[in-house]
Every structure is written in C-alpha cells, then in structure tokens.
Amino acid sequence: MNNKIGSVNSFDRTHDITPEEVRQFERFKNYTDEQVAELINTIKTYTRFIYNVCSKRQKSGRKIALHIETEKLKAA
C-alpha cells in the first residue's frame, strides 16, 4: 500500500485517500462506488472534527487526556 507520497496509514499524506486505496483493504474490496465515496466522506468528516477539537483545546491551553496507556493495560 505504499506509493510515492506515503502509505494509507502514513501521517505524511498530502492528499485524500482514493477509492483505489480504500479497495486495497480486504474489508472494502467489494464496496460500490457510492459506498466508497460515503466511507471517504465519513473519514474526512471525522478527521476534521478531531482536528477542530484538538486545535481548540490547544489554543485554550487545555490538555487532552487520551488515556492510551490505561486502555493498553486493560486490553492486556
């Protein structure tokens, strides 16, 4: 899933995920064009939301507690 810009999971992406990239995942390989478009739209909406929340919290000086380590311990 690598390309010259980065992989699907890369933090260095400079473009939106493409329908072809979505269909590289086994779970989505049989999605219709409409389903892929809706999935991409959902991903974009979610990431915009998270970005906005994090940006507002950062500007206000509040810390965002993700409790990642706690969740890992619970899973183990």
Give the side-chain half-sphere CA count within 13 A for 12: 6
Task: Give the global pTM.
Answer: 0.61
Tally of residues, the chain: 76
Q: Name the residue ranges covered by the structural domains of the chain.
A: 19-75
Query: How many angstroms separate the first and last alpha carbons of the chain?
Result: 29
Mean pLDDT of 48-59: 83
Mean pLDDT of 45-69: 76
Q: Please state, in angstroms and rounded to a whole number, the distance separating the CA atoms of residues 72 and 76.
A: 6
Q: Please state, in angstroms and rounded to a whole number, the distance separating the CA atoms of residues 71 and 62.
A: 21
Grade residue 64 by pLDDT with cuts at 50, 70 and 90. Answer: low
Say if residues 22 and 39 touch (Cβ distance below 8 Å): yes
Grade residue 4 by pLDDT with cuts at 50, 70 and 90. Answer: very low
Q: Please state, in angstroms and rounded to a whole number, the distance separating the CA atoms of residues 36 and 53.
A: 26
